[in-house]
Structure 1
């Protein structure tokens, strides 16, 4: 419970100074004198989350691959999430920048902060974190009504999905997040949490790094019953072709090689609900084939 002094201080921040405040994912409180009117989103996921918060019309800058919703494609690009065109960004006069904790160049974001441009850092690591991020962005943008409604829609949808699969038969799963070098996720990663939610058993879940590099040999040794992968594009199944060359592996033998559009599962946005539903459906197919005792068609 907050102390009386803390409650008074919070009230002063909101009322005396007319500010809107929210705490970012680095633990820093960001306060604006008024709701943001010109927002720069510095990752594709940040762009989606700002739009989900109801503040899409206030977005004046995005980065490469910010392709959803379609309206975001018409917004000025200021480079990539790893290399920003600061001159172009500053010229667009944002009054709020949405940064990515581990994905954006820290020196460039620090430069923005030094110039007095507020930077709000995000990096959702849980389902609740996605909802919380939408709510905090809505608070800073003054779009609470639509933002909080969207956050609740996602929150309730994920709860319903978790309830539906809480007693599902475990399926050993390998999720491929990248091709060269070959990479996966551990159980602490948001995708790892999707695997668990759907009743999957992440065969690399105990590795220390969030996104560890692995080898073909380690995948063969783990012998997953299902392999799910994204790819270089929303309809590119090429990453799964390498595993078709290993008929001794359970996933290949049972034809449990599944493609999931990467933007539905690899971005911490409300579309993760759609991606999770698809992920769970693929594992249900693997369970059906296990019970039938024969391979089927994806």
Structure 2
């Protein structure tokens, strides 16, 4: 065969292969887009009827819910959905009734197999707390996942409203959220401080660790007109030396602890001639959660800081 014919044949074959390749890429992209749309729909269902595979309306009383974080368990109970919970995470201890519900998640991750057997209509997941691979696996299996992310304290209200809209408890969610925001606004006004009081916030003393400016607890201090004693920390939870705490002279010590005052004071006793800062104790189960109970704990915290700092 003449060389020019061989060359033309090779060009034709290459062109055919290129067309086939482009068709395959187009088909793959279309499939990926369809999958993305399906996952998005799974992650963000908008009504109770969308949680029902039959397409008919479903009452709240028949909804089966799994919660993968303690604060999400609290939200469900706040919205009157406590009886709908068939599985919760470890440390879901409020209200008291939550302690009796089956555990399906812990610090190691979600128990996927158990969750499947419970046949939940809705799974409440914490974006930032639960393992991303667990959330992805649950959604990829076609389960409805409400993925919630809280970065600022006001997000608690907006996320509860979003959950309320999904579960037909919007009226209750709106009332709770508005009350939370109103109380928060009052606290901000009452404790506004152009020069925030330096406060040493800690959970334990061995090692002695505190909070940086971007830590969740510092947002709570800010509401009370205070800030962390270490606003220059490049990390959220730095380990610090006792001598640095003493040198910086905090206006108050805030212990997020379940220990007694007497037990906590033992650590500071020998330094009390130099360190006069009063000790304020807060409940770590509340201050470390995105809970509506934060308001009452904040009132105690702000009162203590204002009185002593």
Which interval holds the TM-score relative to the shorter structure? 0.7 to 0.9
Q: Which residue of 1 aligns with 2:144?
A: 118
Aligned CA distance change for structure 1 residues 109 and 222 (closer, same or farther; 3 Å): same
Q: Which residue of 1 aligns with 2:266?
A: 241
CA apart distance, 1:222 = 2.8
1:162 pairs, out of 180, 184, 188, with: 188
Structure with more of its chain in helix, by fraction? 2
Q: Which residue of 2 aligns with 1:136?
A: 162
Aligned CA distance change for structure 1 residues 110 and 162 (closer, same or farther; 3 Å): same
Aligned CA distance change for structure 1 residues 171 and 110 (closer, same or farther; 3 Å): same
Q: Which residue of 2 aligns with 1:9?
A: none
Q: TM-score, normalised by structure 1?
A: 0.77
Aligned CA distance change for structure 1 residues 219 and 146 (closer, same or farther; 3 Å): same
Q: Do 2:87 and 2:104's aligned partners in 1 also have CA atoms closer than 8 Å?
A: yes
1:278 pairs, out of 293, 296, 300, with: 300
Cα distance in 1, alignment partners of residues 294 and 41 from structure 2: 23
CA apart distance, 1:135 = 0.5
Cα distance in 1, alignment partners of residues 235 and 274 from structure 2: 25
Cα distance in 2, alignment partners of residues 157 and 105 from structure 1: 33
Aligned CA distance change for structure 1 residues 138 and 181 (closer, same or farther; 3 Å): farther
For the residue of structure 2 that corresponds to 1:227, the secondary structure is strand
Moved more, 141-150 or 165-174: 165-174
Counterparts of residues 59-74 of structure 1 (less than 5 Å)? 59-74=85-100
CA apart distance, 1:143 = 0.6
Cα distance in 1, alignment partners of residues 142 and 237 from structure 2: 34
Aligned CA distance change for structure 1 residues 46 and 180 (closer, same or farther; 3 Å): farther
Moved more, 33-42 or 43-52: 33-42
Instruction: Please say if 1:53 is aligned against 2:79.
Output: yes
Q: Do 2:44 and 2:145's aligned partners in 1 also have CA atoms closer than 8 Å?
A: no
Q: Which residue of 1 aligns with 2:178?
A: 152
Counterparts of residues 186-197 of structure 1 (less than 5 Å)? 186-197=212-223
CA apart distance, 1:119 = 2.2
Instruction: Please say if 1:94 is aligned against 2:116.
Output: no
Cα distance in 1, alignment partners of residues 183 and 290 from structure 2: 15
Q: Do 1:41 and 1:63's aligned partners in 2 also have CA atoms closer than 8 Å?
A: yes
Q: Which residue of 2 aligns with 1:8?
A: none
Cα distance in 2, alignment partners of residues 259 and 111 from structure 1: 40
For the residue of structure 1 that corresponds to 2:212, the secondary structure is coil
Q: TM-score, normalised by structure 2?
A: 0.74
CA apart distance, 1:207 = 2.3
For the residue of structure 1 that corresponds to 2:211, the secondary structure is coil
Q: In angstroms, what is the RMSD of aligned CA positions?
A: 2.7
CA apart distance, 1:270 = 0.8
